[in-house]
Amino acid sequence: MSSSGSLLFSINNEGKVYALSTSGSCWREFMYLGLEFKTLSAVPHYLWAVGGDRQIYLHVHGLEIPIRVKEESYENERWLPLEGFSGRLLPTDRYHFSSQDGTVDKSIDRIRLPSMAWQWEGDWQLELTLDGQPLDHDGWSYAVDFPAQFGPVKQWKSCVRRRKWIRYRKFSAMNSWCAIAPLHKDPTQEPFIDVCIGGNQIPYAAPGTLSVWAITAHGRVMYRAGVGTTSPEGLKWINVSIPPNCDIKQISVGPTGLVWAMLWTGRAIIRKGITKDCPTGEAWLEVKSPSETKLSVMSVGYNAVWAVSSDTRVWFRKGIDGNMAGNSETAAMGSGWLEITGNMINISVGINDQVFAIGESDKCIYWRSGITPSELTGKRWRMVQANMQLSRTSSSASVISSASNAKHHSLSMLSENTPELKSNIKLHNSWEESHSAPIEHTLPIKPPKEILPKNNTIIDNIDLTGKSYETTLKNPRAWSPVRSVGSVVGMEAQPDSDSSVFDVDSGMYFDEEVSQTAWGTCDTTWSFVEAGACSIDPMQIPHWFTDSYNVHNSDLTAKWRLQILDCLKNRNTYQDVDLSNYGVAIEEKGWTRSCEARLVTTNNSIEDCILSLYWHALENTGTLSVFQPDGTIKFILNLGEVTSVISSSEPGCPRVNLSTPRQNNENIKVQFISEMEQEEWLSVLVDIISQINGLSSKPSENSVWAVTSSGDVLNWDLMPMRQNPEENELHSKEFQVFGKYALSGFTTNLYNNFPPGSIFKITGSLNDEIKRFHVNLQGPEIKKQRHKIETEVTEIALHFNVRFDESTVVCNTKMFGNWGVEERHPLPLAPGQEFSITIHCNNQGFKITVNDKIYCFYEHRLSPESITSASVQGPLKLYTMVYSTTNIIIDPDEMIWRMMGGYLRKVECCQNGITWGISHDHRVWVYTGGWGGGALKGLGGNEGINSMTDTQTYCVYENQRWNPLSGYTSTGLPTDRYMWSDITGKHKRTREHTKLINRHWHWISEWMIDYNTPGGVDSDGWQYATDFPAPYHGKKIFTDCVRRRRWYRKAQIITEGPWIRAGSTALLDISLWNNDDEVLVWAVTIGGDAIYRTCVTTASPTGNHWEHVKNPQTLIAISTSNYIVWAVGRKGELYYREGICKENPGGTNWKLIEAPKYNYPFSHKTSVGAKFVSLNANAAWVLLSNGAIAIRTDISQAQQDGKQWKYLTDCDMLFKDVSSIEQEVWAVSTDGHLHRRLGVTAENPIGTSWQRVLSSSLVHVSARGSSL
């Protein structure tokens, strides 16, 4: 089961719970633990239920990393003259142990686990850093007095000190039913009849908010306070009063928190005024039922309420607006009932207002198809037809299992293997012995021995504070949950043999076929359906519907289809016909395509033009001609010279960008008339350019990936270049110089430097009046700041100067800007002559040949590795210039960047081809090996192309200034920023003018005020400051003259690409490194936790599951190489993970790394934190928060934190991304250009200079696959 699927839950007529995954096609039964269930309610990962014993149970599932909560407490001490620092504080001081602001007493011995479902993770620990700076071993930080700035150093005036204790607790009842405390000591006194969960999308509420409502048998309505994603069980029940004479039997809460309740009399009441600040609402309102109809079941969605009446008719409530429901009675009540065809007995509204119901006559589950935001009533009911997992307890199942396999052994043996059944029941009957201690969360794949706890031992080391619950039970049958709040109702009993509903994600290689064998069809009669966690993509509906014409997956294996395919394949075998003299009927012809478009010039002006594309597939040539509107030619571009085609659309301006580095550095920008046309041209151009360059299949393992600012994924593959013909094992590059006049100098890059074995050769002809000319093999240009900024070459390894005026040849070397001792040789050439000069580099020096005669030898004075370019200057004409080296020459002019398809924020790869991506909504994707999708259509076939979605948030800021007369208004000073602006205030941004970039995007929310803006906000979302670019705060104070608030709106893109979801955990950063087939994948979750993926190999690139690693600080970035892991903390500090090896891939503990002390010349700040790291075998390239790069060198297994920091001095470029592996370092500068570091060697890990390899607007690069 892939965890990317969501789940539809239902209860059959025997009270057993089943789940159906949207990515699967089989109902899987929940482990039966002797407890039937009455009702269920779910949001993704959280399921609440009323059991057959009328108590409430919670089931948390499908989370790949544990729920962890950090408890923290500050220990405060004051210095007293005699005693020194002590815990005795002044009466006016804060508590000895307190919260950070000192207002709350937080004695650590009183911080307890909330329930038995929680476990401590280790003991209390001291935090030993302050803002990334290490503290001494006791962790104290010092200040003059309490509400002051604390610093790491004790000074004479430090009167108080404090240190921070932290301890993590973990929710250990994952993947199991967990009892919720009853209302009274005797649980039978007031049992429950209904429970519901929702509220995961309450407008403006903090992320992670959930709301749970329940009905007791006495008809009381209870709200569960404190429920959230990190506190799944919440804190306590709060009684919500109901109007007199209202006897409630059912309650439903929608994603926006809207609550409807159903009375026994068949009427409905709703709760008005539920907002983020008032989760229980204000008052009840009655809703009229459809005339002469008693409603029986009802379910609340986002913008919809559906109900079923006692005569099994189906009703839709129109006019509900979930976003407004908290403030508007009409939005909460809707405007009227609409009868929908069909007869149902139960109904449930899921994500996106999709509706499921149970048919009255057949008790089957139906899905309402065709529901869209604009058509909430849908089109028709479609029966969900999925196979059943054969139940060990169900009587109606009939075994159609054809073969048994290990995994399902226990299932196919069920009928005869009754002892197993008994053991389950025994487990249930006897569980009060084991429930007294929470059972550690274990993944079902682990052997059972580890799961069954030895209570005695665990009780010893676990601080269990639920003391009041420790009374032992005399009669095991009279069990009551009051004694075991949060305790776990059994675990998976046979984890090896059971196919759990919550099977850990087995990725895309899940063998559906094998698992099918133990599944059978049986007529289940359902009594309850719950869709609250079920997310159906109307574009790609699950394979649940046999009436669908879309079930091609079953068609693919159908006998008739295989028969047809077989016949089709066989018909093309003409045994007796000799085909050699048969011509081709349709000859390959070139084709043309043209359209009117606009050319965007460098200064952003727009010229009309006519584009005409000519392409001849057989000759593999193509041209793009650009004409003026009157038909005269502007220019004609040989498509062989285009190195990248990317989309560069802006809202309303569908554009394509072509890079032609050989022509000029400026990209060609074309704006099309429509998006459709832009997409067609984009896919045609990408296709043609890939064909010209022989790129069609999956890129090789060593290719480099990049992501553009429009989210397109680019790939550059070295392999096709590597196949170029080679001469004597040397790679050569001929520069296009014929006829170039070198009077003012001609300089060219030597991309691989000039190591021994390299050859540089020029031919040309000298002018008749030539006096001097020279050939330099030199280092990079260094920027110097004298009167103005100018560049100079300070390192020239070989200066070969032919002086006709002095009749001599001078050879010399420039070091640190100073010439050395000259070596002079007789003149070998005459003016006006044709000549050739060849320079061979060997270990000792340069062997120089003039006109094919060995001329002289010049010993190395500088390492030839430092040579980055060659320069020829003098009055001469060049004919040829050839550069040959032992390594493959990577010329940026020949790098073809192929658009691969998909929409991502980040792509990371390693050297065996496994490639992972992260989208803007932090979801994780794995490259499938395909090519195309989205605008590219099916370029490389449809193989591996999957549908993808991504969500991005658009923000605008509303700015206001205070004036004495009218208070805050949107009239600012003339010097002020725009009153509606972006975050910088420099660009005008209004809500009305915020447009989506193309038709694949659509809004999924309205404009909303962001109440979670960093810095804090007031109740209207405003944050205040003294003046505009000043720090903002949430509380208005006297000196504040301006305020701003952030509005946001979410948009979603629906596209396709060669990517597949891997796991459901949201990630910030990911890093891959491989040792042959075995791959280390480390990642940082959105919550800042470090995790690593198990069992990632080339055969299963999605791996198995995430393993969580404890980390004391929240992290933002991570990198791994060579079994070393570095991570960046939120405050810019760097850590490495100690003790990682094959046997212990998680390592043992985090160690702080000395921070880089980088003085950036134009910056005021003396120390800046890290924000990103890329680790290679012996150095770590660290991107600092100001965009500069620091390099930690001499990293080894023995010295994992390296020895010293080095900085790039050759340029003042700033970067937004860097990626390094072995001796390859690639980076994206802040202006979006891609650069490759030249001259990186083991001896010189920081390299010599940057080479620009792609001028485009990139955001990310990963060169972690390259291996040269």
Binding site for other proteins (CB under 8 A): 369-370, 379-380, 547-550, 552, 555-556, 559-561, 563-565, 567-569, 571-572, 574, 576-577, 579, 581-586, 589, 591, 937-938, 941-942
**Least distance to other proteins, CB of residue 743, Å:** 52
- Least distance from other proteins to the Cβ atom of residue 567, Å: 4
User: In b/e form, how buried is each residue of 124-144, taking b as 16+ CB within 10 angstroms?
Assistant: eeebbbbebbebeeebbbbbe
Q: Which is nearer to other proteins, 560 or 1162 (CB)?
A: 560
Cβ distance to other proteins smaller for residue 513 or 576 = 576
Rounded Cα distance, 532 and 350, in Å: 4
811-834: b or e for each residue (b if 16 or more CB lie within 10 Å)?
Answer: bbbbeeeeeeeeeebeebbeeeee
Task: State the minimum distance, in angstroms, from the CB of residue 610 to other proteins.
Answer: 15
In whole angstroms, the minimum distance from the beta carbon of 677 to other proteins comes to 10
Our CB check for other proteins shows the closer of 472 and 581 to be 581
d(CA 1079, CA 914): 8
Nearer to other proteins, 243 or 370 (CB): 370
Q: How far is the CB of 585 from other proteins (least distance, A)?
A: 4
Phi-psi region of 1147 (alpha: psi -120 to 50; beta: other; left: phi over 0): left
Q: Around Cβ 713, how many Cβ atoms within 10 Å?
A: 25
Measured from the CB atom, the residue of 206 and 558 that comes closer to other proteins is 558
Cα(194)–Cα(216) distance, integer angstroms: 7
Instruction: State which residue, 472 or 570, has the beta carbon closest to other proteins.
Output: 570
Nearest residue (CB) to other proteins, 589 versus 853: 589
Angle at the Cα of 497 from the Cα atoms of 546 and 174, rounded to 5 degrees? 85
- DSSP per residue over 219-235, as a string? S-EEEEET-BTTBTT-S
Q: Are 267 and 284 in contact (CB under 8 A)?
A: no
Shortest CB 694 distance to other proteins, Å: 18
CB of 690 to other proteins, least distance (A): 13
Least Å from the CB of residue 683 to other proteins: 9
Q: Name the residue nearer to other proteins (CB basis): 594 or 1199.
A: 594
Sign of the torsion formed by the C-alpha atoms of 218, 223, 225 and 229: positive
Q: Which residue's CB is nearer to other proteins, number 549 or number 816?
A: 549
Taking the complex as a whole, how short is the minimal distance between the CB of residue 574 and other proteins, in angstroms? Answer: 5
Hey, what are 177's tokens? 């039913």
The one-character DSSP state at 525 is: P
Residue closer to other proteins, measured from CB, 99 or 548:
548
Per-residue CA distances from 581 to 577, 589, 609, 618, 1005 (Å): 10, 21, 47, 20, 65
Least distance in angstroms from the C-beta of 673 to other proteins: 12
Considering the complex, what minimum distance in angstroms separates the CB of residue 550 from other proteins?
5
Element (H, E) at 691: helix 675-692
- Specify the residue, 682 or 862, whose C-beta has the smaller distance to other proteins: 682
CB 629 to other proteins: min, Å: 20
Tell the residue number behind the tokens 């050319």, with chain if given.
599
Taking the complex as a whole, how short is the minimal distance between the CB of residue 378 and other proteins, in angstroms? 9
Specify the 3-state DSSP secondary structure of 448. Answer: helix
314: which residues sit within 8 A by CB, 6+ positions away?
306, 307, 308, 339, 340, 341, 342, 343, 344, 347, 357
- Please name the residues in contact with 372: beta carbons below 8 A apart, sequence gap of 6 or more: 538
Which of 358, 520, 395 has the alpha carbon at shortest distance from 14?
Answer: 395
Closest CB to other proteins among residues 565, 606: 565
Task: Give 341 or 461: the residue with its C-beta nearer to other proteins.
Answer: 341
Quick check: 1258 and 1252 in contact, CB under 8 A?
Answer: no
**Collapsed DSSP state (helix, strand, coil) of residue 831:** coil
Give the residues across from 1046 on adjacent strands: 957
Q: Are 658 and 685 in contact (CB under 8 A)?
A: yes
Supply the minimum distance, in Å, between the C-beta of residue 1056 and other proteins: 12
Pull the structure tokens for residue 1000. Answer: 């694949």
Query: What is each CA distance from 1112 to 75, 289, 1135, 1149, in whole angstroms?
Result: 18, 55, 11, 10
DSSP string computed for 260-278: EEEETTS-EEEEE---SS-
Least distance from other proteins to the Cβ atom of residue 1192, Å: 50
- In the bound state with other proteins, the residue whose beta carbon lies nearer, of 552 and 988, is 552
Q: From residue 96, give the alpha-carbon distance in Å to each of 75, 90, 105, 136, 851.
A: 6, 10, 8, 20, 88
Least CB distance to other proteins at residue 708 (A): 24
How far apart (Å, rounded) are the C-alpha atoms in residues 251 and 263? 9
559 vs 788, beta carbon nearer other proteins: 559
Q: Is the CB of 309 or the CB of 354 nearer to other proteins?
A: 354
